Amino acid sequence: MNKKLLHTPEGVRDVYDGEYSKKVKIEEKLTEVLNLYGYKGIQTPMFEFFDIFNQEKGTVSSKEMYKFFDREGNTLVLRPDMTPSIARCVAKYYDTDELPIRLGYKGNTFINNSSYQGKLKETTQLGAELVNDNSSSGDAEIIAMAIHSFLAVGITDFTVDIGQVEFYQGIVNEFRIKGEEEERLRELIRNKNYFGLEEFVAAADISEEGKEVILKFSELYGGYEILEIAKNLTFNSTARHAIEHLESVYRILSVYGYDKYVSFDLGMLNKYNYYTGIIFKGYTYGTGDAVMKGGRYDNLLGQYGKKAPSVGFAINVDELQLALTSQKIDIKDGRKKKMIVYHGAGYKPAIELAVQLRKHGIICEVMRLFQGKPIEEYIEVARKEGMEHICYFEDKGLVWMIITETGKFERIAGMDDLIK
């Protein structure tokens, strides 16, 4: 047999057994949070027309997309980002809605990144979008949901870093930094390349005051006090309004009780150029990248025909699961699980019991005891799957309850005892 047929392409992987079960439980916990905030589910296609994601929209570059053609010659793309898909869908089906629209989603995204980066090329994103709300309370609600999501899966040691694109935009406008020079500056700040930033400032044709302010980007990270420092750096109205907006969001997050999870990073910029205001990322231990990303994108829907302010976030479920594993956090199912093992003619009472157990919401696996297989092997499987008991039906009509932790057999007289 060709062993190559057993392997997946680089950047994608199989998820199975306990890892799959854990991923499903994570997704259920996160979806429950979205439901608590009134977000309704939405599902978009896994592939769309190329124009939905082209670079003019501010999404990923063409070389990072998986592209192919349909029979009519249209260029199609496996979606690299959920937000443009949701934006297109909102513009189509909610074009006349003016009140806030709350949508939640889950789906896989595909980015053809360099193999040298060591990143997955297919990941699961789960997130939410709030449309028709341009308020600081809308921004705070989205960030609060993201924080609530971390807590819902058991992660308590994390931080959400918040930035503001308009603060950066106000600074570059104030000191008239444009074109390729602005693109270079954006890239240096986005990548936290502060040595490169010093070289840029030394060679740039801008005022000494402008150079001093730009170099301050490396220091604009920390708690609430950073906002006052940033406000004193500039008289530009756009930049100062951005800081005042962050102050308002922080006050609202304090009402949620979530202010302790927040830091500010005014040097934060995103590679997706459709973000227009507040942006944020969530970090925790056990993963090398942000687990959660989000922000405001007030102009994106207009490119699909509906002018509407919007803000949202997405959690990388694969990164979150990696963090949970590293932190040894287990998400309990909460439902009882049993294994039923029967020998020979014991199948009838075994199946009858399984029917009753399932009516009571108890998960159960029915397994035949194969010839030559000792019951101890079944006990080991049940133990690994977190089952406390095995119901064992012997040929002679005897019924045993086996405690998986100890391997102890207990005789059972009636079926009612097995359903408890």
Choose one of 306, 326, 346: the last residue of a domain: 326
**Structurally, how many domains does the chain consist of?**
2
For the whole model, what pTM was predicted?
A: 0.90
Give yes or no: residues 404 and 292 share one domain: no
Give yes or no: residues 342 and 320 share one domain: no
Give yes or no: residues 345 and 313 share one domain: no
Q: Is residue 332 part of a domain?
A: no
Contact 345, 356 (CB under 8 A): no
Question: What does DSSP assign to residue 219?
Answer: G
Give yes or no: residues 321 and 353 share one domain: no
Give yes or no: residues 271 and 403 share one domain: no
Give yes or no: residues 243 and 208 share one domain: yes
Local confidence pLDDT in tens for the 420 residues of the chain: 566 778 888 888 988 888 898 999 999 999 999 999 999 999 999 999 999 988 666 678 888 999 999 999 999 999 999 999 999 999 999 999 999 999 999 999 999 987 666 789 999 999 999 999 999 999 999 999 999 999 999 999 999 999 999 999 999 899 888 888 888 888 898 888 889 988 888 888 888 888 888 888 888 999 999 999 999 999 899 999 999 999 999 999 999 999 999 999 999 988 778 899 999 999 999 988 899 999 999 999 999 999 999 999 999 999 999 999 999 998 877 788 889 999 877 788 889 889 999 998 889 899 998 877 888 999 999 988 888 889 888 877 778 888 888 888 888 766 666 666
> Judging by DSSP bridges, how do beta strands 278-284 and 292-296 pair with one another?
antiparallel
Give yes or no: residues 249 and 384 share one domain: no
Question: What does DSSP assign to residue 50?
Answer: G
In our burial notation (b when 16+ CB lie closer than 10 A, e otherwise), range 408-419 reads eeeebeeeeebe
What DSSP string describes 292-342? EEEEE-TTTGGGGT----EEEEEEEHHHHHHHHHHTT------S-EEEEEE
Q: Is residue 259 part of a domain?
A: yes
The tokens describing 161, both together, are 């870093």
Choose one of 284, 303, 326: the last residue of a domain: 326
Contacts of residue 113, Cβ cutoff 8 Å, sequence gap at least 6: 11, 64, 119, 121
Instruction: Report the CATH number that the domain containing residue 302 is assigned in CATH.
Output: 3.30.930.10
Residue 323 CA, chain-centre distance (Å), reads 12
Give yes or no: residues 13 and 137 share one domain: yes
Domain that includes residue 362, residue range: 337-419
Q: Is residue 331 part of a domain?
A: no
Give yes or no: residues 70 and 128 share one domain: yes
Residue entry with tokens 């509407």: 308
Q: Is residue 84 part of a domain?
A: yes
